[in-house]
Structure formats: structure tokens, C-alpha cells
Amino acid sequence: MSPTNTVPQRKPLFRGVCASSVTPIHADGTLALDRIKPHIDWLISEGVSAISPLGSSGEFAGMESDDRKRVLDASIIACAGRVPIVAGTAHVSTRLTIELSQHAERAGADALLIVPPYYMAPTPAQTMDHYRRIAEAVSIPVVLYHNIPLTGVNFRTAHLAQLFREGAVQAVKMSNPEPDRIASLLQETEGKMSVYAGIDSVAFEGLCHGAHGWISGIPSLVPAPAVRLYNAISVKGDLAAARMIWAKLAPLMRLQFSAYHSGGDGAHWFSVMKAGLNMIGPEVGDPAPPVLPLPKEFHETLASLLRDLGYEVRAHN
């Protein structure tokens, strides 16, 4: 497919901290749609600049398309235009990604968050075509979710910059443990492409490089301290204050991603997230299997880290 030259001018994207909202579920695994508004109200009260339903934290990969549409509709209604909605609409097929993306635009989403098709691991060239087809089908901005471990697609800086120059994507959530991937993309596009730190282990460095914002686990679990870090680095340029904030956030990051970074040993990032949210915010339920609730052995450590960040922690069974 040839690069598109007819992509319309798209609205500007947010700057700042974006929380990936979770999908509340009941104990029997069914959607708890009535819990979406309290959850989103809490995230907004914490000061986030945007909310992204149905990203990794929304457990989209285990949901049927109709349920994903119901969750997104409820999230957009709950948000009520208070902050932009960046809707996760990725699917394993281009056709279904377009269907979900068009639904999101009609429902009122401000932008789309789309991870490359997973499992089949298309080549970079094939995946670039995937994004071009999506761009032709919608008029709101597309944020490409760069996540190599969970997709098998390794876009290089040149690929991403090319998609940006064509107008197929407007931004990247860079979930790569190498901070220079953020720096190189910002430099290649002269800062015109919105680049977001997409994994907490590179958030500090990424923001120092000039990333436009942060979308990951910490902003979704403890948004207020994440906002303070963003403001210290990106608004005030106060590196000394930022280091003090990060010194309290880093232990939570290390706990949350302990299994991810070790290849299996430790706590699962999403088990930590839902357990933590249940301790400090409105009830959101447990993860959907195969991900299980956080083992009891990690509860007090998590609670202590949350208290150290200024949160009142409730007991959670």
C-alpha cells in the first residue's frame, strides 16, 4: 500500500500524565460497568491530563469486541469531557482494529492507542501498512503503542518517523527499557511528534529528554505523585525536586514490574495495580484469570509504599 497523502489535519494531543484506566470486574468475571465512573472520577481528582481506557491495564486482550465497546462507552460518559480520552482499539486484525477505532471516534474518543497486531508478528513493513489503513478510516489522532515483548514487532526510529511524516500516526507510547529510544525519536522528528514514556523504568530519563508525557503503571496506580514528577521535570525544570519524588516512586516501580523485569519471579504488574487501587481508591475488583490477585506476601510491602507516597490505605482481602 502506498503512503497516504490525504490524511486530514488532526487535533493536538495532550501533554502530561495519562492514566490507563482499569476495567472493573465482579468476582464472577463479568463487567462491573457501574464501577467505571467512581474509578474515573478518582483518577481525574488525582490530577491526570488524560485517561486511556482499554490499554493493557484495561485487559482488552481478553475481551470480546462488544464488551470493549460497552466499557469504552461507559468510560467516555463517565469522563464527560473533563480530560481527553485516548481509547485502546488494538486487535489482532486490521479489519477489527478499524471497526473498534471507528466506534471509538463515533463515541467521542479524542485519540486512539493502538499496539501492533500481536501473535502473528507481522513484519515492520506489514505493520506500517496496518497503521496506514487505520489512518484512512478515522480522523482522530493515533498513538502507536510500541511494545516489543508483547507483540513481536520492533519498529525502529526510522519506521516511526516515517509513519509520523506520512500522517499515519501522531504519537508513540514508547514502552521500551532503553531511554535513548525516546531521545532518538524526539531528535529525529525535531520534537514535533508526541512521544510518551510508556514504561515506568524510563519515565524519569524520558521526561528529562523532553517526552511530552507519561502513560504507564505508576500514573495509573498513584497518579498524583506521577503528576508531581512530570511538573517538576517538564514544567518547572527542577531536577533536585524531581529526584526526591522519584526516590519514593522508584521502589513502587520495582515492586510492580518485578516479575516483568526478572522473567517471572516476583509480583505481576497488573496484580499490583489492581490490589493497590483497591487499597486507595474505589473498588475495581481483581484481575481476570489467568492473571491472579496479588499474593498476600506482597500486600504489606505495597501498602507501606503507598503510605509513603501519602495515601490512606484500606485493608483489602
Q: What is the pLDDT of residues 197-232, one digit of tens each?
A: 999 999 999 999 999 999 999 999 999 999 999 999
Answer whether residue 229 is part of any domain: yes
Residue 78 lies in a domain: yes
Identify the pLDDT of residue 214.
98
The whole-number pLDDT of residue 8 equals 52
C-alpha–C-alpha distance, residues 272 and 286, integer Å: 10
Is 84 within the bounds of a domain? yes
pLDDT of residue 317: 59
| Mean per-residue pLDDT, 234-261 | 95
Cα–Cα distance for residue pair 26/154, rounded to 1 Å: 36
Q: What is the pLDDT of residues 39-69, one digit of tens each?
A: 999 999 999 999 999 999 999 999 999 999 9
**Out of 9-13, 86-90, 203-207, 222-226, least confident range:** 9-13
109 pLDDT higher than 60: yes
Residue 295 lies in a domain: no
Percent of the chain surpassing pLDDT 90? 90
CATH number of the domain that residue 124 is part of: 3.20.20.70
Residue 160 lies in a domain: yes
Domain that holds residue 127: 16-238
Q: Which residues are designated catalytic?
A: 145, 173
In a domain, 298, yes or no: no
Tallying the residues shown for the chain, one arrives at 317
* 246 vs 143: CA distance, rounded Å: 26
The helix/strand/coil state of 219 is helix
Domain count, the chain: 1
For residue 9, give the DSSP letter.
P
- Whether 46 maps to a domain, the answer reads yes
**pTM here?**
0.94
φ, ψ of residue 31 to 5 degrees: the values are -65, 135
Distances (CA, A) of 139 to 103, 117, 215: 12, 21, 22
- According to DSSP, residue 234 is labeled I
Which one is predicted more confidently, 211 or 7? 211
Q: Helix (H, G, I), strand (E, B), or coil: what is residue 87? A: strand
Assess if residue 263 is contained within a domain.
Answer: no
